[in-house]
Amino acid sequence: MAACYREEDDAEGALELLSESEAVFSRLGARHPGAFAARFEAIGAARAELLRRSGLEDLPGQDRARVLQGGSTP
């Protein structure tokens, strides 16, 4: 689904979905250590790639959110 958001140039939507997915797989990983590690890592890699392609990888979270919502960095 995150790829669909990216195709629609909705980086904010993609990041939100990836954050939700990370939270779910983090909880699952706590209950079942190792069982979901690969999926959790894949989500992190997808997030990093999205941020890299968007040129936002080095911005702090608040600044990144502001840019994604159409604002500028301080």
Reported as a single tens digit per residue, the pLDDT across 31-74 is 998 999 999 999 989 888 888 887 766 655 655 555 555 554 44
Q: CB neighbours (10 Å) of residue 54?
A: 18
> What pTM value is reported for the model?
0.66
State yes or no: pLDDT of 21 exceeds 80.
yes
First to last CA, the chain: 31
- Helix boundaries (H) for 1-74: 2-7, 11-31, 37-54, 61-68
Q: Are 17 and 4 in contact (CB under 8 A)?
A: no
Which is more confidently placed, 16 or 67?
16
Please give the pLDDT value at position 73.
Answer: 47
| Local structure of residue 56 (DSSP, 8 states) | -
In this predicted structure, the answer to whether residue 13 has a pLDDT above a threshold of 90 is no
